[in-house]
Amino acid sequence: MSEVMQVADEKAEREKFTSVTVFTDSQATLRRIQSDEPGPAQVLALRTMNWTDALLRKNIQVEYWRVPAHKGIEGN
């Protein structure tokens, strides 16, 4: 997910976004990015948190949504 947030940050700069919405079917990922405690995937979680913070500092709203896997969501 950190790569997605990096792309969002780059596009937001060029295209003047005011918000970014990320859809994922991974409950574990959403839980993991809520904490910087040591554990599995800590490095990826910290990268995601840092990119999210960068967007927020630019006044770009960030939302994460969990979606059921393979349920007609484009790109899922």
Task: Provide mean pLDDT across the span 62-66.
Answer: 91
Q: Kindly report the pTM of this predicted structure.
A: 0.73
pLDDT band of 74, cuts 50, 70, 90? low
pLDDT one-digit tens code per residue, 7-24: 888 888 788 889 999 888
Task: Provide mean pLDDT across the span 36-44.
Answer: 79
pLDDT band of 44, cuts 50, 70, 90? confident
What DSSP letter does each residue of the chain carry, written as one string?
-HHHHHHHHHHHHHHT-SEEEEEES-HHHHHHTT---SSTTHHHHHHHHHHHHHHHHTT-EEEEEE--TTSS-TT-
